[in-house]
Structure 1
């Protein structure tokens, strides 16, 4: 019995003894006996308290509690395959403080709060492939019949009644291309696939992005040799602008004039230009251009200039080499031939995957690219010809 309970009992007995002292001697003797009993208990508790204060209190640690638990003993004896022990916090009898608090370990054992998802690296926007029409094919090669640039002889003419009608002629050439394979591989553990499906999905996304990134670079600058596509900036696949000082204003010629000249050259070839391709750095330099009075040609710093020149939208992408540009009718210039779209596959049977519990992931595409109308693409160096003026260099 605790001190407070004993003291309260003694107070009650003393009160009752005072009330019944004069009227009931027998009841008084009974209460006296109870008083002596509680007094002895109080003395015994006081003696024990003095003894406890002189001794060092030993409390079981969390580890001691764990190994002393019945569940752990059963696990250690092999009678169960798992165990769960709920640990309790032990208090000293002398003071209400925790002796073995179960706290968060330091040193990074317990991870801090982790933001959901994955913080991705930078992805370059892919825009070039969407410029060209795409046709599906079911063979490993493709062909198209192309009219020769000098192959059309127009014989149409007005003729008199009953006179001989004139003939015209057109010559063609057959162009053959082959389908190329673009692939990307990665290996992940089977445990990762089970424990981190979001991480695996992100890996898949990176593989797919890697394939499409290579395709875009090839559409721009592939040299067409071996397993490479042939790109629109490769010599022979576009028409150089060929601007001279005579083609541009004699005074204060700018890069804007050069782009207009290229646009006009596409139109002279009977195509309809729809896009201007530029590197972001070159577009930024053009936004900085000022006239002789110091005024910006395109807007001003307090506003965003529309990405258009001479009525055509500007498409900026790092895929375009810095210092180059192109104006074109891209819907008429070339075709993307798709043999197999993007495919992602997983393989367990690959090299030593089975031994190491790994899975191989493969992303793959098969496609070809044919540039059919070179005169629909006009571009080249984004630089003024010599002596055309210093502005816009």
Structure 2
């Protein structure tokens, strides 16, 4: 068994023990606490051995290459997978970036290519001291309202990978449920699916910024710019594509422009309308788990400020803390959702599949940038969008929702 497999086995045993304790709604026993501490010590030793093995492997590669660590010409990173806690960190850990950084301030012309960037989860999820740690462990499919994590619209849908440039897929329109109890020898029931053929075409999303060569040479500065600006802008644009599409031929339609979603008309006020949406979803798709209510921040504010006849807030008071829900369903805001509309439902059937992992390129091969010591940093990735079962999502019209006191 390799070192990585040993570490994975320890983490799997730890998670299994934590899941068991959570299902039994109890604290860890003394024996289990001792076991966890023992596993933690073994995991630390394995991580150190893995780190040393990785360093030795990199040293061997450098020696085998003749020790030419500086290289000649433009540092171009070959297509490979770089893994770190953020895309900015993954970029600054590539050989191409390290070569550029070591050649400063004489590293022009700039040409850095980092392909196949991936980020990884917290390596020690049981440690509350590490950034990104999740406490407590939450079972799959369960929303933790006691210790809520920051939620975005993209966190609701299914994210995956693909190798296809174009796909024809079956979009589920309706299901006839004929399940029943049968006796031995009886004819077994047959449920029917009504489907329609839909198409998914790969599309590229990209954005770029100009930075000074000094900013580019500082790994902390360029890493934070990539994480706080480029990846944020890409995420916002992907959210817009998933919701609204592009509107052109062979381009994604988006949820709001896909036929088959449940359309809920306005009735009385925002709360009543959303209630109708939840009810109609549950009647149309038996057993559905309503995942979230997604609304524009302005409509969310209207909901937060609704009061009863005695001028008391119906939702959490302005200075209160706690989960923001509607009929027990988490509320998530998105500025991409048009004001006056609310999306309610189970968004797992919306699939955003990554065809080409995030690549970050930095170059200044033009006269203007070279003369001003500027470098263009570009991030891009490629996706396919599939909306498998539109009727699991309801689009409710709340344009007539009152902004003043409610009559509740």
TM-score (norm 2): 0.52
Structure 1 unaligned spans of 5+? 1-124, 245-252
Q: Which of 1 and 2 has greater Rg?
A: 1
Q: Does residue 173 in structure 1 map to residue 193 in structure 2?
A: no
Taking structure 1 as reference, are residues 190 and 384 closer, same or farther at Cα in structure 2, changes over 3 Å only?
closer
Q: 1:347 to 1:236 in 2, by over 3 A?
A: same
Cα offset, 1:241, TM superposition: 0.9
Structure 1 residue 279: Cα displacement: 2.0
Aligned partner of 1:145 in structure 2 is 170
Partner residue, 1:135? 160
Instruction: State the number of aligned residues.
Output: 255
Contact 1:180 1:227 in 2 (8 A): no
Say if 1:366 and 1:295 are closer, same or farther in 2 by CA, change over 3 A: same
Conserved? CA contact 2:309–2:406, under 8 Å: no
The one of 200, 206, 223 aligned to 2:222: 200
Of 238, 255, 276, the match for 2:293: 276
Residue 156 of structure 1: how far off its partner (Å): 7.7
Structure 2: stretches of 5+ with no match in the other structure: 1-149
Q: Cα 1:236–1:349, aligned 2, differ >3 Å: closer, same or farther?
A: same
Higher relative contact order (CA 8 A, sep 6+): 2
Residues 143-189 of structure 1 deviation map (CA, whole Å, 9 limit, x = unaligned): 4323443x748598989x99998876545433220111011133445
- The answer to whether residue 385 in structure 2 is matched with residue 360 in structure 1 is no
> Are the aligned partners of 1:266 and 1:329 in contact in 2 as well (CA < 8 Å)?
no
With structure 1 as the length reference, what TM-score do the two structures score? Answer: 0.54
1:255 corresponds in structure 2 to: 270
- Cα 1:328–1:189 change in 2 (3 A) is same
How do residues 290-329 of structure 1 correspond to structure 2 at under 5 angstroms?
Answer: 290-301=307-318, 303-304=320-321, 306-329=323-346
- Conserved 8 A contact 2:179-2:189: yes
CA distance in structure 1 between the aligned counterparts of 2:226 and 2:356, rounded to whole angstroms:
18
Q: Which residue number corresponds to residue 140 of structure 2?
A: none
Match of 2:352, SS state, is strand
Q: Provide the C-alpha distance between the structure 2 equivalents of 1:323 and 1:372, rounded to a whole number of angstroms.
A: 25
Matched-pair contact (CA < 8 Å) for 1:147–1:173 = yes
- Superposed CA RMSD in Å reads 3.8
Instruction: Identify which range, 353-362 or 161-170, moves more after superposition.
Output: 161-170
What is the Cα deviation at residue 326 of structure 1? Answer: 1.3
Q: By how many angstroms is 1:277 displaced? A: 0.9
CA contact (8 A) 2:171 2:387 kept: no
The answer on whether the counterparts of 1:136 and 1:339 sit within 8 Å (CA) in structure 2 is yes
Alpha-carbon displacement from aligned partner over 1:29-49 (angstroms, at most 9, x marks no partner): xxxxxxxxxxxxxxxxxxxxx
Query: Residue 233 of structure 1: SS of its match in structure 2?
Result: helix
Question: Following the alignment from structure 2 to structure 1, what is the Cα–Cα distance between the partners of residues 389 and 397?
Answer: 20
1:341 aligns with 2:366: no
